[in-house]
Chain A
Amino acid sequence: MPSLPDAEMPDALALAERAAAEQVHDPHVADVDLKPAFFDWLCRIGDNALILGHRVSEWCGHAPVLEEDIALANVALDLIGQTQMWLSLAAEVEDKGRTADDLAYLRDAMKFRNIKLVELPNGDMGVTVMRQFLFDAYHFELLTALARSESPRVAEIAAKALKEVAYHLERSSDLVIRLGDGTAESHARMQAALDALWPYAGEVFVADAVDEAVARAGIAPALPDLLPKWERTVAEVLDEATLTRPDRRFDVHVGGKQGRHTEHLGYILAEMQFLQRAYPGAEW
């Protein structure tokens, strides 16, 4: 194999900036009144992908079978790639000279806007698979709607991510069915995972002023509109998996979207941000 040529790596950031400069005009990006909500909302979408991607990547080299190990790493990779797109747009909207990397590596826990569900520890495979399914079912509906966003910049990222997330949802619903309708042991673990995660599952559907502002601007769907579709997918898969939907509220643990997190997020950030905190500006 020929050795790599002696040339400089393309500057990904400069590439993204130049591409951004040539984008079709998107009035939402420069809308001053909309900026605080748009930025916050983009951080929510980006942070969900970032934190779940980081969590899932923790399985790399540890999954029970090789195929699952590879699948988990692939899903994590997709999510981190999507993070790059969302947080780049967030940084552009914010317009304070920060980059996607600055947002990922230099914000403190209180500034993160992900839902609590995605920061929960991986637990066993039952928890990991169930968390992924509950999130994928939402993520798929969200991106489907965002692909028709009135913001062309949001729509193009969503259209790209949607193709990947369709595979994520296919895999996670498949696994929920196989493990739920599997052995007594796998069934019990999946039901326990569902019972434990259920009170976290609804946070994404609880709209606040930020969600309402981006919905009014035509950027995002109204969250209550997504809920019936999510419920249909969840009901179909749980039924096929012989699992029982918990008879309790699913929106108990909220606040992550507003920056109030569980203790677990701090540990994730300690690992994820260590290098940039200890060696600011380090590159490789």
Chain B
Amino acid sequence: MTVTLPSTGQVWDWLSEVPDPEIPVVSVTDLGIVRDVRWDGDTLAVAVTPTYSGCPATAVIDLAIETHLRAKGVEKVRLERRLSPPWTTDWVTAEAREKLKSYGIAPPIDGTAPDGRGGLAARLSGRANLVIECPRCGSGNTAKVSQFGSTPCKASYQCRDCLEPFDYFKCH
């Protein structure tokens, strides 16, 4: 008896149904952390890249992917860790950015990741003050509370107009 293996396109569709454990409105493919899907004989190999090297969600994401694919009938799944090229917020899809915003998280502003000495110079001269729009009222009159927020990928901000505290998905 021969078993027809699902196409990798089908697998990508299934993966787009797997939510990120910490921000469930976006999927693992929305975030751009699935790097490769391929068949190795009758084993499905899925390469995932970590967002942050110490991100505690990594193991949970692997588990969620494996569980979902098994539920779809894939019997042999192998998860691989892929480090390079390193994940950046550039991989976050446009659709995901809209979803983040409506969920109350300000999406990342591309090209604003710190770059060490250059970032230092920018900050000392005041050029590093980003305008992060409040996801609730849209005001640009917001202030950074902390560069480090509830999870490694987010910073804490507050709106000075509507007073809403919110997360900013920081550029990485």
Contact = CB atoms under 8 A, between A and B. Distances in A.
Interface string B113-140: 1111101100110000000000000000
Main secondary structure of the interface of A (DSSP, over half): helix
Interface in A232-260: 232-233, 236-237, 240
Contact of A140 (B81, B82, B116, B124): B116
Contacts of B25: none
B53 A71 contact: no
B124 A159 contact: no
A237 B120 contact: yes
Contacts of B82: 19
A159 to B, nearest CB: 5
Contact of B148 (A15, A75, A85, A166): A75
B66 A7 contact: yes
Contacts of A18: 78, 80
A233 B115 CA distance: 13
Interface string A137-174: 00010001000000010011101110110110111011
Given A18-B78, A166-B115, A236-B124, A171 B147 contact: yes
Nearest to A137: B116
Interface magnitude class on chain A: 35 or more
Nearest to B88: A163
B83 A156 contact: yes
A80 interface: yes
A208 interface: no
A240 B53 CA distance: 32
A12 B146 CA distance: 31
A236 B54 contact: no
A68 to B, nearest CB: 8
A236 to B, nearest CB: 7
Given A7-B63, A82-B54, A232 B117 contact: yes
B101 interface: no
Interface magnitude class on chain B: 35 or more
A85 B116 contact: no
A4 B116 CA distance: 40
Main secondary structure of the interface of B (DSSP, over half): loop
Contacts of A167: 114, 147-148, 170
A22 interface: yes
Contacts of A166: 113-116, 119
A74 interface: yes
A161 B115 CA distance: 13
B54 A233 contact: no
Contact of A85 (B53, B62, B66, B150): B53
A10 B63 contact: yes
Contacts of A157: 83
Contact of A236 (B52, B120, B152, B170): B120
A237 B67 CA distance: 49
A190 B113 CA distance: 28
A155 B86 CA distance: 11
8 contacts: A4-B63, A19-B82, A68-B146, A84-B53, A160-B50, A167-B170, A170-B116, A171-B147
Interface of A: 4-5, 7, 9-10, 12, 15-16, 18-19, 22, 67-68, 70-71, 74-75, 77-82, 84-85, 140, 144, 152, 155-157, 159-161, 163-164, 166-167, 169-171, 173-174, 229, 232-233, 236-237, 240
A-B pairs, top 6 by smallest CB distance, nearest first, are A81-B54, A81-B53, A67-B146, A71-B148, A156-B84, A77-B54
